[in-house]
């Protein structure tokens, strides 16, 4: 049960409400060497052992050692402030207490989804793509890369992020990051641009990427051969100029047909 508020000590109902809230916790069966102690506003779990190694072993803590404690089967509600208390032996019983905040993350198995509005783009046109992360808690961070180089919002590149509730599982959130790019020549290597989005959570808990390739739709110029006419003495050059003009028109018409056919086929 997640507790978001409390009652001051000395109130009429304070101790009754505390008993109702923690009664189930105090009744959880533990080994004989583990003692659960309930205070007025706190809870302590005491494990009796002679050494730190024996302490970890008796507590039956998963993947724990003398310096680290790893919990298993935790829920998001487990997040909160955790305390570590070390007490010395008699006669001083000196005690040191340290506290830190623990966040329980809900990590998905799926990777991000990357969608682009075009697969081939003409120079100067705008490319728009969005990267959507699966539901998680807390929400993830999205980083964009173009040709393996990290990019940020600047002139010619616009990035917008939004966090949305994940409808499939309550309490989870999904990040939708949208990037808009002006297709300039420098972004294409050998006529191709590789666009990648990287979704991370605390850099190490989750790290998955998705990449798409976008081709540059640059027109291919066709070579037009125009014959050269020479005027010879005693020969009328008028018909040769007429033939040259017809060949020029035919070459331009052929070039238009080639360019249209390449666009239709998808080169």
High-pLDDT (> 70) share of the chain, % = 63
Considering the domain boundaries, does residue 125 fall inside one? yes
Q: Place 210 in a pLDDT band, splitting at 50, 70 and 90.
A: very high
Q: Are 62 and 35 contained in the same domain?
A: yes
Could you tell me the two tokens for 2?
A: 């997640």
Residues 91 and 186 in one domain: no
Q: Look at residue 2 and tell me if it is in a domain.
A: no
First to last CA, the chain: 61
Question: Looking at residue 195, which CATH number applies to its domain?
Answer: 2.60.40.10
User: What is d(CA 164, CA 139) in angstroms, rounded to the nearest whole number?
Assistant: 9
Q: How much is the CA Rg of the chain, to the nearest whole Å?
A: 36
Does this model's pTM top 0.75? My answer is no
Q: In DSSP terms, which residues pair with 36 in a beta bridge?
A: 45
Report how many helices (DSSP H) and strands (DSSP E) the chain contains, helices first.
3, 13
Predicted confidence (pLDDT) at residue 254 exceeds the cutoff of 70: no
What tens digit of pLDDT does each residue of 113-159 get?
A: 999 998 898 888 999 999 999 999 999 999 999 999 999 998 889 99
Q: Which residue, of 179, 197, 216, is where some domain finishes? A: 216
Do 97 and 123 lie in one domain? The reply is no
Whether 59 is in a domain gets the answer yes
DSSP string, 139-155: PPEEEEEETTEEE-SBT
Residues 196 and 235 in one domain: no
Q: Report yes or no on 74 lying in a domain.
A: yes
> Does residue 8 lie within any of the structural domains?
no
Can you list the positions of beta strands (E) in 205-265? 206-216
pLDDT of residue 241: 47
Q: Is residue 251 part of a domain?
A: yes
Boundary of a domain, candidates 102, 137, 153: 102
In a domain, 108, yes or no: no
Q: What is the pLDDT of residues 14-58, one digit of tens each?
A: 777 777 776 776 777 766 666 777 766 666 777 777 776 766 665
Strands 192-201 and 206-216: antiparallel
Confidence tier at 194 by pLDDT (50, 70, 90): very high
Number of domains in the chain: 3
Q: Tell me how far apart the alpha carbons of residues 143 and 54 are, in angstroms, rounded to a whole number.
A: 45
Structure tokens at 17: 């409400």
Q: How far is Cα of residue 86 from the mean position of the Cα atoms in its chain? A: 39
Torsion angle (degrees, nearest 10) of CA 212, 147, 201, 130: -40
Residue ranges making up the domain that contains 255:
220-267
Look-up of token digits 């990035």: 159
3 assigned to some structural domain: no
């Amino acid at each position: 049960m997640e507790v978001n508020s409390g009652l001051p000590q000395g109130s009429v109902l304070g101790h009754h409400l505390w008993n109702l809230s923690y009664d189930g916790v105090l009744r959880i069966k533990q080994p004989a060497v583990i003692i659960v102690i309930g205070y007025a506003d706190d809870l302590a779990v005491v494990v009796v052992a002679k050494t730190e190694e024996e302490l970890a072993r008796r507590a039956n803590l998963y993947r724990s050692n003398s310096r680290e404690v790893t919990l298993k089967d935790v829920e998001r509600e487990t997040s909160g402030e955790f305390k570590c208390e070390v007490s010395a032996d008699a006669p001083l019983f000196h005690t040191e207490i340290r506290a830190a905040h623990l966040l329980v993350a809900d990590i998905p198995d799926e990777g991000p989804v990357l969608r682009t509005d075009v697969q081939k783009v003409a120079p100067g046109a705008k490319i728009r793509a969005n990267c959507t992360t699966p539901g998680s808690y807390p929400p993830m961070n999205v980083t964009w890369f173009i040709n393996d180089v990290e990019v940020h919002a600047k002139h010619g590149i616009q990035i917008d992020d939004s966090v949305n509730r994940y409808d499939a599982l309550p309490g989870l959130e999904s990040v939708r990051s949208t990037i808009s790019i002006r297709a300039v020549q420098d972004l294409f290597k050998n006529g191709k641009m590789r666009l990648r989005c990287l979704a991370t959570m605390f850099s190490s808990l989750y790290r998955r990427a998705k990449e798409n390739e976008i081709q540059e739709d640059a027109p291919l110029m066709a070579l037009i051969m125009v014959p050269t006419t020479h005027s010879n003495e005693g020969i009328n050059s008028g018909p040769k100029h007429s033939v040259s003009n017809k060949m020029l028109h035919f070459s331009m018409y052929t070039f238009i047909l080639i360019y249209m056919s390449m666009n239709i086929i998808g080169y």
